[in-house]
Amino acid sequence: MNCTGRIWCGFLMGAGIILLSQCSPYAGKNLLNFFFDGVPETDTADVNLADLEETSIDSMGPTEELLALEMPSHMVHYPYEERECASCHNELSLGTMVEPQPGLCYICHEDFSTVYNYLHGPVAGGYCTSCHDPHMSESGKLLRLTGDDLCFNCHREVSVLQNEMHEGLEGMFCTDCHNPHGGEDKYIFQ
């Protein structure tokens, strides 16, 4: 944005926040709190892990027990849970990151280009958040989708299943054979 004056900048950003806050009730709330307080309130979108731990399995009926068992262990990304927003976000300019992906993620995680000979397209391109939510998710490993749906988000199911290499794979997951991040060659086998 090419702002001609600070007041206009403030006005335009304010308008942006109002627009954004209308998209999703949770995203908007987080955005406003982040902007004005730096720390978001825990609301319904947040899961308080301490509360979950305090809940005794004994006090639950069979259904709740099953749900508790299926609850993944790492729904909230550690730096988000610890309110270390500034480890990723520029606090003076919300919406911009301290570094673009994948470098942003490699500040704390191992650089996959040093691990694999060949990188999966979205990993090489720095689209980590096309598969992972940077804050939290209902699935383990912060994944946005589970199972093969994660792959079919980009690869067309019909064309993948047309390949004779994929005949008779019922009951197998894509990641039983392919590594989501990289591998020896372009077929990124596990």
Q: Which residues bind ligand HEC (CB under 6 A)?
A: 27, 30-31, 34, 40, 74, 77-80, 83-85, 87-89, 97, 101-102, 104-105, 107-109, 112, 120-123, 127-132, 134-135, 140-143, 148, 150-151, 153-155, 160, 163, 165-166, 169, 172, 174-178, 180-181, 186-188
Shortest Cβ 7–ligand HEC spacing (Å) = 24
Comparison of 7 and 156: residue with beta carbon closer to ligand HEC: 156
Rounded to an integer, what distance in angstroms lies between the CA atom of residue 53 and that of residue 10? Answer: 43
Looking up tokens 């550690």, which residue turns up?
78
Shortest Cβ 23–ligand HEC spacing (Å) = 9
Shortest Cβ 59–ligand HEC spacing (Å) = 27
Comparison of 47 and 129: residue with beta carbon closer to ligand HEC: 129
163 phi and psi, to 5 degrees? Answer: -60, 125
Comparison of 64 and 91: residue with beta carbon closer to ligand HEC: 91
Shortest Cβ 37–ligand HEC spacing (Å) = 9
* DSSP secondary structure string for all residues of 75-106: -B-HHHHTT-GGGTB-TTSTT-BSS-TTHHHH
* Burial classification of residue 127, based on how many CB atoms lie within 10 Å of its CB (0-12 exposed, 13-18 middle, 19 or more buried): middle
Comparison of 117 and 175: residue with beta carbon closer to ligand HEC: 175
Is-contact 41 33, C-beta < 8 A?
yes
Report DSSP state, residue 135.
S
Q: Count CA within 13 A, CB hemisphere, residue 184.
A: 3
Shortest Cβ 116–ligand HEC spacing (Å) = 11
Comparison of 58 and 164: residue with beta carbon closer to ligand HEC: 164
Q: Count CA within 13 A, CB hemisphere, residue 110.
A: 7
Comparison of 60 and 71: residue with beta carbon closer to ligand HEC: 71
